Amino acid sequence: MKVMIVGAGKLGVKLAEAMTTENMDVTLVDSSAKVVEKINEHLDVLTVVANGINVTMLKEMNIEEYDILVASTENDETNVVICTFAKKLGCGQTIARIRNPEYTEQINFVRHELGIDLIINPDFATASSISKYLLKNIMFYTGDFADGKVKMIDFKCSYKSSFVGKKLYELENFENLIITAISRQGKLIIPYGSTEIEADDVIHIIGKEDELLKLSKNHNLIGNDKHMERVMIIGGGNVGYYLAKELSKAKVATTLVEQDRNRAVKLAETLEHVLIIHGDGTDVNLLEEENIDQMDAFIGSTGYDEQNLLMALMAKQYGVGKTIAKVSRKNYTKIIDKLDIDAALNPVNITASNILKYVRGGKVVSVSLLLGGDGEVTEIIATKDLLYLDKPLKEVNLPKGIIIGAIVHNGEVIIPNGNSVIRANDRIVVFSLAEDTENLKKLFTPGKRGLFSELWNRNKGTRDNPAD
């Protein structure tokens, strides 16, 4: 597949990194020579210093030979025009990143009339993820798969955790659950039955919702079970706006603190049933006056990662049940697990996941990136022409970096073991390390048996699911 990405910001680079691991033919275009030079130091992609809106450049690059163009510049209108030009010149499909809330109301019109195949709004997607997280009882970030039948939770094992010091095979109440990965000191590792859990590990678990709730109650992983009633948000940008709007619909009393007066006035005019406070969200006295200690949740959604993390930590000190920070910088990924906050959501990863799902197409239903993209959970529908169907998993010999976390057969969720079998049209939830994404793609792609054999010969160190 041939892909052009216009705009080498955080999203453009993240997409290029993910796509190159899958052996896609990627061209990255940016108008800044310095940005392109920096990218050339660590990414093996074709780079072009040019303005993506330049029709001559698109023609010279033979845009009609590209399967997909992704416009991810900082300007919404520029992204729309680039996609329109590319489509008119014969590009297969186009994807535009659009943030402006005013476009949200007319997004279908923009997409259909201008020939854009997919419009991604990172701020809305991030707000939706936070909203879903807040309205759940489980204290930790949750991913939903197979129409909500399969869920994934992850949480930090503190020194007092009943898990610390135990090997995986010694854990109780895990019969119908799989620990797919462990985040340890900024690295994502695949656990075995003999892997011992250490303090500060973050464990990622896949299973049915009722089994996860049972586990959470047995090990005191659930915080306050009461309905989310009062929430405070600092930062009235697009994420804060979308989130306040979603929470208001859910009848949650929401306080939104915004430092810019004009923005605060505009928010007050457009948001119903939301208390808008004009002030500095880092001013502890202001937050105390607004009763931060009585809030059920606190969200830092300003444009500054450091502020979001610091204020989320401070809110914890005031006894707030759930604290969340919006964090965009990749280099903060390895320290977040050590902080006493409940979740840090990265708009870049959320957006990249949505785009990757679309680019992969076919039977890929959803993609969720973990730990800044070091691993991912992918939901796939098994087609009838795949070679591993109707075989026990212990005979398939999955590569080391791939774990099948769940199988949904005729609406029933099966947490697999070595004897489990995948059948045509089953939904499969698969975890894989980033370096094994290409193996995952080949494993779930119909093809000749020779390709299947080649994959296993290249991965001679094989085993069953490590959670078995």
Res 17: pLDDT: 86
Using CA atoms, how far apart are residues 116 and 108, in angstroms rounded to an integer? Answer: 10
Q: Beta strand 402-409 with 274-278: parallel, antiparallel or unpaired? A: unpaired
Q: Quick one: how far is CA 265 from the chain centroid?
A: 32
User: Does residue 338 contact residue 355 with C-beta atoms inside 8 Å?
Assistant: no
Angle between helices 238-249 and 122-134 (to 10 degrees): 40
Using CA atoms, how far apart are residues 266 and 299, in angstroms rounded to an integer? Answer: 20
Amino acid at site 253: A
Pair of tokens at residue 214: 């049972």
Using CA atoms, how far apart are residues 91 and 53, in angstroms rounded to an integer? Answer: 14
Backbone dihedral region of 359: left (phi > 0), alpha (psi from -120 to 50 degrees) or beta?
alpha
Amino acid at site 459: N
Closest CA to 245 of 454, 104, 76, 450: 104
Residue 210: which pLDDT band, with cuts at 50, 70 and 90? Answer: confident
By mean pLDDT, which of 32-36, 91-95, 287-291, 436-440 is the weakest? Answer: 436-440
Res 464: pLDDT: 40
DSSP string spanning 124-162? HHHHHHHHHHHTSSBSS-EEEETTTTEEEEEEE--TT-T
Q: Looking at the predicted structure, is the pLDDT value of residue 51 above 90? A: yes
- How many CA atoms does the CB half-sphere of 170 hold within 13 Å? 10
- Phi/psi at 196 (5° precision): -95, 135
State the CB neighbour count (10 A cutoff) for residue 301.
29
Residues with Cβ within 8 Å of 79's Cβ and at least 6 positions away in sequence, in order, are 6, 7, 71, 72, 73, 96, 97, 98
Domains of the chain by range and CATH? 2-120 (3.40.50.720), 132-218 (3.30.70.1450), 225-348 (3.40.50.720), 352-458 (3.30.70.1450)
Res 333: pLDDT: 64
By mean pLDDT, which of 91-95, 206-210, 220-224, 424-428 is the weakest? Answer: 220-224
Q: Quick one: how far is CA 103 from the chain centroid?
A: 23
**Three-state secondary structure call for residue 340:** coil
Closest CA to 185 of 28, 368, 320, 336: 336
Q: Looking at the predicted structure, is the pLDDT value of residue 141 above 60? A: no
Tell me the average pLDDT across 288-292.
94
By mean pLDDT, which of 56-60, 222-226, 372-376, 382-386 is the weakest? Answer: 222-226
Distances (CA, A) of 382 to 145, 302, 396: 15, 41, 15
Provide the whole-model pTM. 0.72
Res 370: pLDDT: 62
Res 231: pLDDT: 97
Could you report the per-residue pLDDT of 318-360, keeping only the tens digit for each? Answer: 999 889 999 888 777 667 767 778 778 888 888 888 888 788 7
By mean pLDDT, which of 128-132, 363-367, 430-434 is the weakest? Answer: 363-367
What is the enclosing helix (H) or strand (E) of 186? none
Residues with Cβ within 8 Å of 262's Cβ and at least 6 positions away in sequence, in order, are none
Residue with tokens 């419009």: 119
Distances (CA, A) of 63 to 93, 128, 227, 338: 11, 34, 52, 45
Q: Beta strand 230-234 with 202-208: parallel, antiparallel or unpaired? A: unpaired
- Phi/psi at 168 (5° precision): -60, -40
Could you report the per-residue pLDDT of 73-112, keeping only the tens digit for each? Answer: 999 999 999 999 999 999 999 999 998 887 777 777 777 7
Res 56: pLDDT: 94
Q: Looking at the predicted structure, is the pLDDT value of residue 226 above 90? A: no
Tell me the average pLDDT across 160-189.
82
Res 458: pLDDT: 42
DSSP 195: P
Using CA atoms, how far apart are residues 369 and 165, in angstroms rounded to an integer? Answer: 28
Res 243: pLDDT: 96
Using CA atoms, how far apart are residues 112 and 94, in angstroms rounded to an integer? Answer: 12
What percentage of the chain exceeds 90 in pLDDT? 39
Q: Looking at the predicted structure, is the pLDDT value of residue 137 above 70? A: no
DSSP 228: P
User: Does residue 221 contact residue 154 with C-beta atoms inside 8 Å?
Assistant: no
- Phi/psi at 392 (5° precision): -60, 140
